[in-house]
Amino acid sequence: MKKILYLVFFAAALAGCNRSPEFYFKRANYQFSVGKEGLALEDYNRALFLRRNFPEALTARGMLYERQGDRQKAGLDYKRAIETDSSYLPAYNNMAALLMDAGNYREAAEYLSQALAVKPDYPYALLNRGLSYYKMENCAGADADLTKALELNPKLGLAFYHRALCRRRSDDVAGALADLDAVLELNPAATLAWFERGKLKFSARDFAGAALDFSKSAELKKDDPQTSYWLALAFYKSGYYEGALESALRAAELKPDSYQAAGLLGDVYAASGDLPKAKEFYLKAAGLSSQYAAYYNARLNALGRRAGKR
């Protein structure tokens, strides 16, 4: 989520040392930016002592409280900033982001709607309300807000990414792929975009293309068992059993209790003709998941019939 704070770091501004609220606010911002949070808090307090209705200082102090882990004080400062100046948009956005971090998406959307009533073309409010709608499974609302946010600022990668997830839910594979392409154009290191694009290609039975995307995701996030599993699955579906075996073993190493990885290893070994190993991993998968034990036992029985024909 995008949080907003206007920081002023110019030494000339500090040299004017007239001890006004603005002086303390600017000095606090500088202290905050260099990690001197105690000094920053003192200066925000001085600024607010001299001017109680100072929405910029209240919002900045709220961000400092957030960094320190005091979400309650942060929320009180954001609310007070909104009450002080109902047109100060960053306070709405930061309050909403605080609520979103806590999973309170409905209340966050209400604050963002208030901000958009003040300024309908505020891209960060549209972005965050779109993300909130997505979390509330309102993909129609999310798509509308994210599309408008991108019209105002086409560099909002989060908007492209979440619009892609919504479009995938509505089976708009082409639209979802186009949005994920846009994310990767903006940020080639966006691991989740590579992963989601791989899943879309897999669902479209483009297993080779999916394997390429999962490989990139695995390269960027080496210790993620889910990525290793999907890469193994794409290799297996492509008929590249050597690569499937390597990736499935990696997934099982990273998550030893994964029945999916164990079952996939059974499939890979069975396809490669190593029936004893296939049996070993089907038994392991059945032991790891009571829910799918019958499925893996059926695979074992199929192995037995196959062995009997030899």
Question: Which of these, 26, 8, 7, 29, lies nearest to 17 by C-alpha position?
Answer: 26
Cβ 133 vs Cβ 141: under 8 Å: yes
pLDDT of residue 10: 39
pLDDT of residue 28: 96
Per DSSP, 103 falls in state T
pLDDT of residue 301: 87
Tokens 């949070």 correspond to: 37
CA angle 80, 84, 85 (to 5 degrees): 120
Which tokens in the block code for residue 295? 């499925």
pLDDT of residue 310: 56
pLDDT of residue 305: 72
- As a whole number of angstroms, the distance between CA 32 and CA 41 comes to 8
The domain locations on the chain are: 1-102
CB atoms < 10 A from the CB of 228, how many?
Answer: 27
Contacts of residue 56, Cβ cutoff 8 Å, sequence gap at least 6: 6, 25, 81, 88
Cβ 195 vs Cβ 213: under 8 Å: yes
pLDDT of residue 302: 85
Question: Which of these, 281, 247, 241, lies nearest to 265 by C-alpha position?
Answer: 281
Q: What is the pLDDT along the chain (310 residues), one digit of tens a residue?
A: 545 554 443 333 444 445 899 999 999 999 999 999 999 999 999 999 999 999 999 999 999 999 999 999 999 999 999 999 999 999 999 999 999 999 999 999 999 999 999 999 999 999 999 999 999 999 999 999 999 999 999 999 999 999 999 999 999 999 999 999 999 999 999 999 999 999 999 999 999 999 999 999 999 999 999 999 999 999 999 999 999 999 999 999 999 999 999 999 999 999 999 999 999 999 999 999 999 999 998 888 888 776 655 5
Does the domain made of 1-102 have the CATH classification 1.25.40.10?
Answer: yes
- As a whole number of angstroms, the distance between CA 194 and CA 131 comes to 20
Cβ 125 vs Cβ 116: under 8 Å: yes
- As a whole number of angstroms, the distance between CA 213 and CA 194 comes to 5
Cβ 197 vs Cβ 212: under 8 Å: no
